[in-house]
Structure 1
Amino acid sequence: MATSKVPAASPGDAYSDGSISMRTPSMKFIYRLECEMAKDSHFVGAQSGTSNARVIMPIVGGTVKGPQISAIIEHMSGADWGLAIGGTGLTRLDARYTLKTDDGHYIYVRSKGIFKPGPGVDIDPKTRTRMTQDEVEWFTRLQFEASGPYDWMNSVFGIGVLAMNDSKILIDAYELTNFM
């Protein structure tokens, strides 16, 4: 006998008149990305009068594998134009790059997110080769531009959960959905 999951009720229901019941959305796995970054980043530095510094981290390549996609990150097709917020440990991420699927289609990916150390964790991203979900909050909003057999990705509200191992950025990409 098959059992179906019942989505959890939204905690927001306790803060309204109850005229409509909401539920917590689900996440559906899309792919695992393993990204190779260039060894050298470009530090623009802080603008006059601010302590925020731009750091440009070129993306060299990588792989993408999931149930409906297998691809590579095109060599030198993008970068992350991060903004380190002075004195906070927070970096605002702004990455763009191109995937080339095994069947020859191109997919443009835009990724905006955050990187911040967890409570009591001191992390220097310039010297670390491994960072886990236990140490950092590293999330991104993924947007896709695709065609052909990957046209379905254009309507995905994507969420990326990140970590790093052996200096490779790992992203598990999920679709946020109301449906199971």
Structure 2
Amino acid sequence: MSASSPSAISPGNAYSDRKFEMRIPSMKFIYRLECEMAKDNHFVGAQAGTSNARVIMPIVGGTVKGPRISAIIENMSGADWGTAMGGTGVMRLNARYTLKTDDGHYIYVRSKGIFKPGPGVNIEPRTRTRMTQDEVEWFTRLQLEASGPYDWMNSIFGIGVLAMEDNKILIDAYELTNFM
């Protein structure tokens, strides 16, 4: 499954005098994650002289399913240590958590990304139970550490596309690749 074709020519070629042509990479689906967050977040607040505030959002569980993986998010194995960018609606994401596969292997996930409302959209995340791709830009860079049958995950460049439904964070994870 791909989200883009490896044959699409890069628009960057128009900005170079070189004869060498680049193409747009492809994205290959890895998994769908459904994440359960704690009901209460920990607000550290803004440091003196700044308007940015740390918000710690504990991850309490969830599921991961894809063509090559089936797992759960270990209970209370992590959180998102986000930074709310004062008054902008933008949040920088910094999550870490652990997956346990159905066959007993552990996978460590680090995720850094961005949440920002779409043009003309005013969103207060704490009061919402649903957010769609039509309302927000919510992306993350996934770094995975695994072993055994999941060793293949160590060498991928992962991209997460996020949304929220019924208070569950949904992440479709893709591998960015030049090959299909």
- State the TM bucket, normalised to the shorter chain: over 0.9
**How far apart, in 1, do the equivalents of 2:59 and 2:6 lie?**
40
**How far apart, in 1, do the equivalents of 2:121 and 2:60 lie?**
28
Structure 2 counterparts to residues 1-180 of structure 1, below 5 A: 7-180=7-180
Of 10-19 and 121-130, more deviation after overlay is shown by: 10-19
Mark the runs of 5 or more structure 2 residues left unpaired by the alignment. none
Contact 2:32 2:172 survives alignment (8 Å) = yes
Give the deviation of 1:19 after TM superposition.
Answer: 2.8
TM-score where L is the length of structure 2: 0.96
Contact 2:44 2:54 survives alignment (8 Å) = yes
Give the deviation of 1:6 after TM superposition.
Answer: 5.5
Give the deviation of 1:18 after TM superposition.
Answer: 2.7
**How far apart, in 2, do the equivalents of 1:139 and 1:11 lie?**
22
Contact 2:6 2:25 survives alignment (8 Å) = no
Percent identity between the aligned chains?
85
**How far apart, in 1, do the equivalents of 2:6 and 2:174 lie?**
19
Of 132-141 and 5-14, more deviation after overlay is shown by: 5-14
Aligned length: 176
Letter in 2 for 1:112: K
- Deviation digits for residues 95-129 of structure 1, max 9, x if unmatched? 00000000000000000000000011111100100
Contact 2:73 2:100 survives alignment (8 Å) = yes
Mark the runs of 5 or more structure 1 residues left unpaired by the alignment. none
Contact 2:82 2:93 survives alignment (8 Å) = yes
Contact 2:6 2:26 survives alignment (8 Å) = no
TM-score where L is the length of structure 1: 0.96
Q: CA RMSD in A?
A: 0.8
